[in-house]
Each structure stands twice: as C-alpha cells, then as structure tokens.
Chain A
C-alpha cells in the first residue's frame, strides 16, 4: 500500500483534513470523504465536466486531479454557491430560464459559469458558449443555459451598481 498523506483542504469555506492515498481523486475526496455529493462523475476521459469544481477560484475537472494535490488549497463546489440561505444569481438564473433538466451536469455547469462571470461580468453569447465548452449537457441543448448565464450576469451587474 502506498504511503498515505495527511491533507488539509478548505472545502466550501470549511477546513477538512484526512489521511488519503496518493491515488485518491479529488472527486472521490469530495463525494466519499467529505460526503458532498453535488459534484458528479460523468465520464472517464476528462471530457464531460460534470465533476467541475473551483480550485482557488478556477474551474478544474476534479476527476483529473488528485486530492493530495489540493492540499492547502481552497475548493468550491455547488454546495458552496448559496450563502446565508440565499441562492447565487447563477442558481436563480438556471431556475428562471429552465437551464436544467435532469440536473446531472448542472453543478459543474454553474461553476464554470460562475468562474466565467467573475472574470468577464458581461460576456457575449459567444463568450458564454466558449466559457462552458468544457461542460457537456445532454438535455438542454445549451440555449437556456446561455440564457441562465445572461440572467445571472444581469443580476450580478445590478448588484454591483446598486
């Protein structure tokens, strides 16, 4: 058995620590060790983006990252989007614009969108499509996801100017 490593990960603002085998993938740390199952696994080739989480604010695919690599870093998942019981604008956008159907891709999709909006608060449709191009959706055809991101962008802009 490989030597385990004691790691600390700040997951959605809460410090988690555990002894992990080096090969433990971050997705399995989040789902099985930390018990937060909102992050999903949809493929085995780093293609689908259902497992997308934010690593120090940047979206990555948690199926292609070892938990031990996240030692000392900050991870944000869908469970960390709402704050104080208030939905994040992206969550509202997905609901209002029917940006989800089966819901399986939704957490990863929202995290990619959040990262996009933090970098580019007023993206064009093409920029939105490009920004979520690492996330596959099988149900929606993306059109309403684009609208959901636009909804969130407008809402966040309003929040800034208010």
Chain B
C-alpha cells in the first residue's frame, strides 16, 4: 500500500507550524506520531497535500507536575507515558491507558497529543481524560487557549481544535488524597481497538464516601463518552456493590455503541456496564476504600 504524493514541511517552532497551517488550510495535516494518519494515507483514505512534521520542534515532549497539574507535552510518546515512574505511581489510570494502546512499536511513535487530536472515539486517552477532567492546551495564531476535555470532542474525527491550532499540552489536575482510578479495555487481541473500554477515577473522603467520580467510555458512540449521570449519582455515596451496580447501569444507558465486527451494540452496552462495575471497584481499591 503506497501513500499518495504530498509535500513535506518541517517547521522548527510552533509559530512556524501554525503559520504553515494557516498558509495551506485544509490541505495540510500535522504529522505527529503518524500512527493513525500514515495508515490512512496508505489506504488513500487521507490525502493531505502538505504534511507538517512537528517532530523537530523542541520542547513539546515532557511529563511533569507543575502548578497543580500533571502536564504532558503534546508530542510525548505513548511509550514514555507508559514508562514514566511518576505516572505509574501517581496516575495509574493513565499508565493503564497507555499500556493498552495499539502495540509496543506503535507506542514508540504515537503521541498523546495525536491520540486526542485525531478525534477517534476508539482511541483510548479520550475516555481517561474525561474521567480525569483534563484540560487541553491548543496553540494557534493568537497564542494558547485551554479547552476543557468535555468540550473537546465534537463528533467522529472532529474536535474543538481550529484548523490552525495544534494540541501542545495535556493538563491533568493533580488528584486529591484518597483518589484512585483505572482503565479497563476489552479488545479482541493486542493491537485492536476497544470493543469497549471504561476509565474510572474516584476520590473518597475520610468516611469512604465518594466526593468525586469521573467515568469515560471508549468506542461507544461518535465521541468518547462522559458518563455524567453515573458520575453525579456516585457523589456522596459509598462505593458498595449496590451503588457501583447502579452507576454501571447509568453508564450503560449513556453509551451509544453501534454494531460492528467487534459485536452487536447490545453486547457492547453490556460490556460498558460490566467494565464500569469492575473499573469503579478497582478505582475504589486504589483510592484506599
């Protein structure tokens, strides 16, 4: 499979990349990890006339805590997220997520920014970022702006990023004490997209009651789904079998999967329920119920 021809551009700075995006408009695409874009080009489903390779822009790949946030640079490779000790220790839900994205080779190139900016509801980080209430930093001609992740995913392959914006940073609020989370994905085999997956992050108070719950669902609708009703239901409740089951039921109701080779919609709804149950239980354990 051979991609169609394109012109290759290699800006050295973000402003340069942004001005190239402005110059070439919809005919241009950002080349980050390329692990979704290049396969689509090889199938000739995507045919940008211009590829703007941002991999040579310094300072876009980092993982650090700063100002109450975990900040991850848009160009940070999934493998680096997976291998980060900080993330493994303090943000296990993010570690869980990175670990099940595609396969080891793909994770060595794929970037966290690209995963989100692609706007594919089957991509894994979306659900986790929804559960964590992350913020995304978009850099464009007028500088930076911050987009709450719940406002980011508009429809399939469409995000709140403007044509001339680049997703440069992911900001995850540093979790409060007694917080825990996980990402559970059912896939047909390693490398597959999720048949369904659920991200859950909870914070408990001293009594064990849930002060905050975040639940995101992968590949169960036109965008990653935030299970807001389930989240609201859990607030103030102890995470016992009954409340977890009820929340799982609500999350299932909020998901909108469609039937495909991974299974009928009915099955995927059932999976959302089951995985929500398991994810909440695990999240609560990690929070130190």
Contacts and interface: CB of A to CB of B under 8 A. Distances in A.
Q: Do A's and B's CB atoms come within 8 Å in the complex? A: yes
By secondary structure, the B interface counts as: mixed
Contacts, number: 86
A47 B106 CA distance: 9
Interface string B73-100: 0000001000000000000000000000
A133 B191 contact: yes
Q: Which bracket fits the contact residues of A?
A: 20 to 34
Interface residues of B, number: 29
A133 B6 CA distance: 32
B8 A1 contact: no
A18 interface: no
B261 interface: no
Nearest to A53: B105
Interface string B2-43: 111111100000000000000000000001001100110111
Given A44-B42, A44-B43, A45-B39, A61 B106 contact: yes
A112 B105 contact: yes
A147 interface: no
Contact of B109 (A5, A60, A112, A116): A60
B191 A134 contact: yes
B106 A22 contact: no
Which of A44, A46, A59, A66 gathers the greatest number of chain B CB atoms within 10 Å?
Answer: A46
Contacts of B51: 22
A149 to B, nearest CB: 13
Interface in B101-116: 102-106, 108-109
A61 B105 contact: yes
Nearest to B42: A44
Interface string A3-40: 10100000000000000011101000000000000000
Contacts of B4: 23
A65 B108 CA distance: 12
A46 B6 contact: no
Contacts of A45: 39
A60 B109 CA distance: 7
